[in-house]
Amino acid sequence: MGHSRFGDRSDVNLSELTFEAVQPSLEESGLTAKEIPYVAVGSMGVWSEEPLPAVVIAEYCGLTGAGLVRCEAACASGSAAAFTAYSAIASGQMESALVVGAEKMRQIDTPTVLEMIGRAGYYLWEFENFGMTFPAYYAVHAVQHMEKYGTTEEDLALVAVKNHRYGAMNPLSHLQHEITVEKVLGSSVIAWPLKLYDCCPITDGAAALVLASEEKVKELGVEAPVWIEAIGYSSDTANLSKRENYVGLEASVRASRMAYKLAGISPKDVDVATVHDCFTIAEIMAYEDLGFCEKGEGARMIREGETEVDGRIPVNIDGGLKAKGHPIGTTGVSMLAELTKQLREEVKPRRRQAPMKNYTALAHNTGGTGHYGYVTILRR
């Protein structure tokens, strides 16, 4: 497992950034680059100059010759890459594989980034004439959630405050400062009712994981391996107008139910979770969609501190997308890397380490506006 520092990483190019994650992951696994049979790369890549990020990364990291693919599931590309590698190993095709998340988003200007992501709904029906942006896609969810369940702008702000607090404890995090509810509420409107501090930043970052079969893990003598217990997946309509409601993401509901069933667990068995908080409302909806609480109870969970490190289910205690940052294709891999550290109980500082009862962790990774849904259960 390897993880670059997230942030404005204009000091390195895409390959150099990815090397920061790949090299430690290989060293830790005991495998060399030449021994890796297959590499699955999660990357959107439209904001940096290389249209085939996987091939330049593989060449730079000495992985040329391995089977190679770039996986696209928008903001869930990293989970799609993990699923690709996991399936290849589980099917017996190979004994190990490398999962990489790589994204450099800060090589172009902000309006163009908004343009690229805004186009990633249903271009013809939502962007061409209507200029939807990603904050806007989530804002329409916030409006309906607030209308139906009484969730408030203050509740949304509490998510940002929590995640910034943990982000400030995480040296790999993009945003390292704590904020207040007042600061969130006073920040400029991006897409009403979402304000600047309701939105994740535009971030560069890379992460990598080596996956291996049980036999390979034994052969390598890995201490304290972390296992992928299950990966659940689903999707939803491209057009937002074709969905029944905007108070949650059905793909998250379906993917999580599938993951729980495959792993033979229920939400109450989860010791720690990372959820896809690209916007503050997304974290509140995730609590509900993943079954951490009843529908409509998400705001209560954040108000009552149930998702703090010492709460009932600690969520995004690495800073989340909100503060750690959201390098699109990297996020899913970054979540699994963070949860691996949590399960190994090696998080520093210790006040960011979740207490382990069942040694079970959950990663929830959404692509687009709930277009792609992946939920991964890890266990030690």
Which residues contact another protein by CB under 8 A?
10-11, 49, 107, 109, 111-112, 114-115, 118-119, 124-133, 135-136, 139-141, 143-144, 147, 188-194, 239-242, 245-246
Question: Which of 3, 61, 71, 75 is an active site residue?
Answer: 75
CA pair distance 129, 123, nearest whole angstrom? 9
Shortest Cβ 45–another protein spacing (Å):
14
| Shorter beta-carbon distance to another protein: residue 177 or 268 | 177
Q: Which of 238, 12, 11, 202 is nearest to 113 (CA)?
A: 202
Shortest Cβ 11–another protein spacing (Å):
4
Other CB atoms within a 10 A radius of the CB of residue 23 amount to: 15
Shortest Cβ 189–another protein spacing (Å):
5
| Shorter beta-carbon distance to another protein: residue 124 or 224 | 124
**Phi, psi (degrees; rounded to nearest 5) at 279:** -135, 155
CA pair distance 193, 205, nearest whole angstrom? 28
Shortest Cβ 202–another protein spacing (Å):
12
Based on the residue annotation, tell me whether 174 is a catalytic residue of this protein.
Answer: no
CA pair distance 278, 138, nearest whole angstrom? 9
Supply angle C-alpha 224, 169, 339, rounded to 5.
30
Other CB atoms within a 10 A radius of the CB of residue 344 amount to: 17
| Shorter beta-carbon distance to another protein: residue 131 or 355 | 131
- Helical (H) or strand (E) element with 148: helix 134-149
Other CB atoms within a 10 A radius of the CB of residue 99 amount to: 30
| Shorter beta-carbon distance to another protein: residue 95 or 155 | 155
Shortest Cβ 138–another protein spacing (Å):
9
Shortest Cβ 9–another protein spacing (Å):
8
The HSE-up count of residue 8 (CA atoms within 13 Å, CB side) is 7
Based on the residue annotation, tell me whether 278 is a catalytic residue of this protein.
Answer: no
In this structure, which amino acid lies at residue 320? G
Angle between helices 53-60 and 14-29 (to 10 degrees): 60
CA pair distance 277, 264, nearest whole angstrom? 26
CA pair distance 373, 366, nearest whole angstrom? 5
Question: Which of 3, 326, 364, 371 is an active site residue?
Answer: 326
Q: What tokens were used for 265?
A: 């667990």
How many residues are recorded in the chain? 380
| Shorter beta-carbon distance to another protein: residue 121 or 314 | 121
CB distance 290 to 267 below 8 Å: yes
Shortest Cβ 316–another protein spacing (Å):
24
| Shorter beta-carbon distance to another protein: residue 295 or 312 | 295
CA pair distance 158, 361, nearest whole angstrom? 23
| Shorter beta-carbon distance to another protein: residue 8 or 304 | 8
Catalytic site positions: 75, 326
